[in-house]
Amino acid sequence: MNSARETVLGRIRDALALAPTPAVVVPRDYRTGRALPDDERLALFTDRLLDYKARVHPCTAGRTAEVVGDVLREHGVRRIGVPAGLDARWLARYDGEVRQDGADVPHTHLDALDAVVTASAVGCAETGTIFLDGSPGQGRRALSLVPDLHLCVVDLSAVEAGVPEAVARLAPERPTTLISGPSATSDIELERVEGVHGPRTLVVVIRTDA
C-alpha cells in the first residue's frame, strides 16, 4: 500500500550510498540576539512599514481607542469584523457596526465587511513585518484576509529588531501569517502595485508603551 513511500525512501538511500558526502555543520555567523532601544526599533519599524505603503499611527496604549476610532472614521468604515478575543476597549470610540467572528461565520460574510481590527503576536523592525498567530485577539486567518482594510494593533514591546529575533518568538504549531505591507504584485513588468487579493489597505497602530 505504501509502495511509493518505500520506493522513494529507498531511492534516496541508494542515492546517498552512491554519492556519500561529508556531514555538514551549519555555520550561524549571521546576526542573532539583537536588542535595539525602543526608539530605534520604532523608527526602523515605522520606516519599513511606510516603505511598503502601510499607514502607521504610533500612540500610547491609553490612546488606542481614540486612534482606532479616528482611523476607521477617516476611512469611512461602517462595518467591522473582530476576533472574539479582541480587547473591546479598543473600539470604545468607534460607533459603527461590529461583527464578532467565529469559525462558523461563512467567508462570504467576511467579504461584506469594510474592515477588520486585530491585535498581533510579534513584529520585526528590520523588515516591517507583522506576525499573526491566530491567538484570541487575532482570530482565524480568513478574518484578517478577506476584508479590504486591515487595522492591526502592534505593541512595541513585541517588535524585535530582526528576523531571527522575531522567529524565535513564534509558536510553530500555530497557523502563522507574516504580513509586510498591503498585498502587492510585481507581475506586470515588475512594477510594484499595492493591493491585489489581500487587504489593499494596511493600517498599523503601534502602541509605544505597551
Residue numbers 59-88 binding other proteins by CB under 8 A: none
Q: CB of residue 56 vs other proteins: minimum separation in angstroms?
A: 16
Among 28, 33, 35, 37, binds other proteins (CB under 8 A): 28
Q: CB of residue 72 vs other proteins: minimum separation in angstroms?
A: 21
How is 47-95 classified by DSSP, letter by letter?
A: HHHHHTT-EEEEE-GGGHHHHHHHHHHHTT--EEEE-TTS-GGGGTT--
Exposure string (b/e) for 112-151, b if CB count within 10 Å is 16 or more? ebbbbbbbbbbbbbbbbbbbbbbeebbbbebbbbbbbbbb
Number of residues that bind other proteins (CB under 8 A): 76
Task: Give yes or no for residue 172 binding other proteins (CB under 8 A).
Answer: yes
Among 61, 78, 176, 208, binds other proteins (CB under 8 A): 176
Among 61, 120, 123, 134, binds other proteins (CB under 8 A): 134
Task: Give yes or no for residue 191 binding other proteins (CB under 8 A).
Answer: yes
Among 58, 85, 96, 195, binds other proteins (CB under 8 A): 195
Nearer of residues 155 and 165 to other proteins, judged by Cβ: 165
Among 69, 85, 96, 164, binds other proteins (CB under 8 A): 164
Return the closest-CA partner of residue 48 out of 164, 170, 210, 163. Answer: 163
For residue 197, the number of C-alpha atoms closer than 13 Å in the C-beta half-sphere is: 1
Q: Helix, strand or coil for residue 184?
A: strand
Region near other proteins per CB under 8 A, out of 58-66, 90-98, 114-122, 159-167: 159-167
